[in-house]
Amino acid sequence: MKYWLVKSEPSKYSWEQFVKDDHAVWDGVRNYAARNNLREMEIGDEVLYYHSNEGLEIVGIAIVTKTAYQDPTTEDTNWVVVELKPYKQFPNPVMLTTLKADDFFHNMDLIRLSRLSVGKVTQAEYERIVEMGGLTA
DNA sequence: GCCAACGTTGGC
DNA sequence: GCCAACGTTGGC
């Protein structure tokens, strides 16, 4: 089992909309590092869902339901999508400022590579964030 | 709205 | 293959 984090701007695709849809094709990734992470995802992996630009907090957890395949929104075979499904919502969303203030997270992709839209999360980071969010891992 | 960080493009 | 120019992302 691996752990990940995806970013979405709430004005484009919010967690609330994701929950309403109960499923999402994660398309539009056009960055090689992010793409490589998508390719490594396996069914059942847990994915933190982060609101960028507005909110700036991790709001919930998604589950990978389908591994990488060609992005249907482009002909370019460099790009792939995965499919995600909402899993749990955090009672207490974990704010970026909180993570930044804590040395424990200094090496996290989200902090170190602020522009990366699909990042890795270590198991230790994941468990700590889930706990901070008010859920038990 | 600004700007820093980073990725990509294209000239040489 | 280097590097300057440019575009985009995303925090502030």
| pLDDT tens digit sequence for A26-55 | 999 999 999 999 999 999 999 999 999 999
Nucleotides of B under 7 A from a protein CB: 5-8
Nucleotides of C under 7 A from a protein CB: 8-12
What's the average model confidence in pLDDT over A11-36? 94
Q: How many domains does chain A have?
A: 1
Give the nucleotide nearest to A116 (CA→C1'). Answer: C9
Please count the other Cβ atoms lying within 10 Å of the Cβ belonging to residue A26.
Answer: 23
Domain around A10: 3-132
In a domain, A47, yes or no: yes
pTM for the structure as a whole: 0.94
> What CATH number did the domain enclosing A42 receive?
3.10.590.10
| pLDDT tens, residue by residue, A80-91 | 999 999 999 999
Tell me: pLDDT of A120 over 80: yes
In a domain, A137, yes or no: no
pLDDT at A80: 94
